[in-house]
Amino acid sequence: MSKKELWHGVYPALLTPFTEDGAIDYDMFKKNFFAQIDAGVSGLIIAGTLGEASTLSRQEKFDLLAFTKQHIPAHIPIVLNIAEQATAEAVSIAEKAEELGADALMLLPPMRYKASDREVVYYFRTIAKATNLPIMIYNNPVDYAINVTVDMFAELAESPNIQAVKESTRDLTNVTRMINRFGDRFKVLGGVDTIALETQLMGAIGSVAGLVDAFPRETVAIYRLVKAGMLTEALAIYRWFMPLLELDIHPRLVQYIKLAATAEGLSNEYVRAPRLTLEGEERARVQKIIDDAIKTRPELPNYLNLPLNSEIEKASL
């Protein structure tokens, strides 16, 4: 199992930039993840929803993993997302990811099938048995129609390498339910940008973020300011950030966040079909949100040197 510190701090769900002809733009991909690392993120998630996993081939996911591992500093963990229809394919990808040097996995429930609670638990536990890698469950019933309940997590607790949850139910009380039931057995990471600060205040020790792809310094600053007890300073940045964060909770979040990252020189607008690039009134409206935010961007404190209230984060610096 990976010895790197996991499941704390900010984890960007990395975009996958493409060229105009649809190939992966590795130069832009590298530029983005180095901007994330420079801003102080704690790890990287590749081939997630924002990474357009549904349009990536199996080999492309492995290529992204190998490329990332080749270029990033050794202390930064790489998490590969798995979102498959068949359990056997998910197991095969998990095994190959471990072979290629992934540090952890993020698992979505079975795709395209509204599995029962028993089927979902079996799916997750089968993958967990096939690998030694630490696992984070992505719990997003709003977008993926399956709610991994607290009772289901009680069954998943029998798998020692299932360690964390990306909490995207959009129900803040679920953080407390998880902590009340399990203590620190499962590390809770917030998964919705528009309630990231609130989720952290409820006890989440990390955040899987989207707008971080465009604004990594602001995202990490908010997290670390809260950790340092500087809530007033964190709120000022968070309130400025909110119109941008709302781009994360729209069906075209990939196009919206790519547009924001393009404005910051960290992506381009190209997406893979069936997605299409934005045009007309919609593009103008989203671009205005981005432009207005950039014009009023707050000055950030020296957030990377703030005193921390977490020994695990001190050890990871």
- pTM here is 0.94
Q: What is the pLDDT of residues 96-137, one digit of tens each?
A: 999 999 999 999 999 878 889 999 999 999 999 999 999 999
* Residue 102 confidence (pLDDT): 98
- Cα–Cα distance for residue pair 312/251, rounded to 1 Å: 35
Q: Which residues contact 26 (CB under 8 A, 6 or more apart)?
A: 67
Q: Is the peptide bond before 12 cis (omega within 30 degrees of 0)?
A: no
- The Cα–Cα gap between 185 and 59 comes to 34
DSSP track, 114-161? ---HHHHHHHHHHHHHT--S-EEEEE-HHHHS----HHHHHHHTTSTT
DSSP letter for 249, please: G
Q: What is the pLDDT of residues 71-87, one digit of tens each?
A: 999 999 999 999 998 99
Tell me the C-alpha to C-alpha distance, in Å, between residue 236 and each of 224, 239, 244, 289, 299.
14, 5, 14, 18, 10
Structure token digits, residue 247 = 């781009």
State the pLDDT at residue 277. Answer: 98
Domain ranges of the chain: 9-316
Class of domain 9-316: alpha beta
pLDDT score for 314 = 45
